[in-house]
Amino acid sequence: MTDKGLEEVVAASTRLSDVDGRAGRLWYVGYDIHELAARSTFEEGVYLLHNLRLPTEAELEELNERLVGEREVSRFLAELMPTLAQQTSPMSMLRTSVSAASAYDPDGWDDSPEANERKAMRLIAKTPTLIAMYHRMRTGQEVVPPNAKLPHAANFLYMLSGQEPEQEDAAALDTTLVLYADHTMNASTFTARVIASTLADMFSAITGAIAALKGPLHGGANEEAMKMLEEVGAPERAEAYVKAKLARHERIMGFGHRVYKTEDPRATHLRRLSQEIGERKGDPRWFEISAEIERVVGEEKGLHPNVDFYAASVYHLLGIPHDLMTPVFALARMSGWTAHVREQYADNRLIRPESEYIGPRNQRYVPIEERSAQAAR
Ligand code: CMC
């Protein structure tokens, strides 16, 4: 029997992350997401996902240096960017750029485990640069080169705005990157692993993952959630808005989850960040609208917010343009995708499920002249 949506299918064994949907728990390599969100950094998470253990100070320092050293994009990508900035949406730019990045990768077609580790670090390091470069070009502003003194999250905000971010803003973005870094067999990670299972290269697998993330049922939900917050505009309008949407059988973006049957543990942190940043910046409206939508959706449908719902107001308050919210998700998930691709290569078997045929059977081939004559009659 078909399991539409593969809900019950276990498609891979992984050491990277684990979810308990009933208890609302998430772990990376056995570490509770609550502890990582409170104490870790994105770079430490990158090390964890790629080495299956936390780094020492020296190891983290070495990783930081490698990532900083790989931030610049190739001349080929920089020359491609003006066209992409004019002609494509942000996620299409990212998909195309990652695909194009294979052209000048120093490791070329080397698909050894060592080369794949280096390709992974390059993709993680360059993704923020690509997004910021795209945004600066499309808005007619000068491109801001990476700042080697700033960590991953702070440098991204710097390249986007041209100004060094406040420490609290950089820390908040960093926490969201930790939260978004990996999430078991979500659609984009599954896509990446399917592509890797054919032994296609790392860039192909990640290009496919970005394509899968783009859709509103997956990563595109944070941007859609932000559109909703703007449409609602004020907390007192949330109830009528949500009820009208549900009456039209429309989905409320940022709510519901295939695996979590209770609160998504990542939403707990994003809710807190949304409130904290709103208060700190004297702009509590987005949190208040969000909280009201959460109340009504909970009462009407019993659904909980997922990672994308409060991420929308957090990113808005951090000055991230709305259509860059899904690319920021990709920026974080790049760490998990690349780790999953490496894990797939390390113990590969072609992923090739079955399908249930539901079309007609025993048809007889009629020559085209007869078909045409039959149609004319
Ligand atoms: N708003 C309204 N109704 C919903 C929602 C929602 N957000 N989510 C699920 N439902 C209803 C759905 O209409 C269906 O009702 P019924 O049985 O009466 O037709 C029922 O819940 C089950 O829905 P489903 O689509 O079979 O459930 P699923 O496990 O396939 O869906 C989901 C998971 C995430 C696709 C879905 O909850 C959804 O569309 N949410 C909105 C988009 C979203 O926020 N996506 C982000 C997902 S989490 C992070 C990420 O991957 O980016």
Pocket test for ligand 1, best of 6, 258, 310, 326 (most atoms within 8 A of CB): 258
pLDDT, position 4? 87
Predicted pLDDT of residue 322 = 97
Task: In the chain, list all ranges with CATH 1.10.230.10.
Answer: 221-317
Its sign, for the CA torsion 20, 25, 26, 30, is: negative
pLDDT at site 2: 84
Given this model, what pLDDT does residue 9 score?
87
CATH 1.10.580.10 in the chain, residues?
Answer: 33-217+322-346
Active-site residue identified among 183, 257, 316, 322: 257
**Annotation says 257 is catalytic:** yes
| C-alpha–C-alpha distance, residues 84 and 68, integer Å | 24
Which atom of ligand 1 is nearest the CA belonging to 264? Answer: 48
Integer Cα distance of 285 and 282 in angstroms: 9
| Residue with CA nearest ligand 1 atom 18 | 249
Specify the pLDDT at position 8: 82
The residues near 347 (Cβ < 8 Å, ≥ 6 apart) are 13
Q: What is the pLDDT of residue 257?
A: 95
Give distance in angstroms: CA of 214 to centre of ligand 1: 16
Domain at 221-317, CATH homologous superfamily: Cytochrome P450-Terp, domain 2 (1.10.230.10)
pLDDT at position 3, please? Answer: 84
Q: Which residue has the tokens 């490496």?
A: 342
Q: With CA atoms as reference, report the closest residue to 123 among 187, 90, 178, 77.
A: 77
Q: How many Å lie between the centroid of ligand 1 and the Cα of residue 256?
A: 5
Residue having the nearest C-alpha atom to atom 3 of ligand 1: 251
Ligand 1 atom 16, closest CA: 249
The residue from 269, 304, 308, 316 that is catalytic is 308
- 33-217+322-346, what's its fold? Citrate Synthase; domain 1 (1.10.580)
CA–centroid distance, 305 to ligand 1, in Å, is: 11
What pLDDT does 252 receive?
Answer: 97
Whether 322 is a known active-site residue: answer: no
Å from CA of 251 to ligand 1 middle: 7
**pLDDT tens, N- to C-terminus, the chain (377 residues):** 788 889 888 889 999 999 999 999 999 999 999 999 999 999 999 999 999 999 999 999 999 999 999 999 999 999 999 999 999 999 999 999 999 999 999 999 999 999 999 999 999 999 999 999 999 999 999 999 999 999 999 999 999 999 999 999 999 999 999 999 999 999 999 999 999 999 999 999 999 999 999 999 999 999 999 999 999 999 999 999 999 999 999 999 999 999 999 999 999 999 999 999 999 999 999 999 999 999 999 999 999 999 999 999 999 999 999 999 999 999 999 999 999 999 999 999 999 999 999 999 999 999 999 999 988 88
Whether 127 is in the pocket of ligand 1, judged by its Cβ within 6 Å, is no
CA dihedral (104, 107, 111, 115) in degrees, to 10, reads -130
**DSSP letters for 201-223:** -HHHHHHHHHHHHTSTTTTTHHH
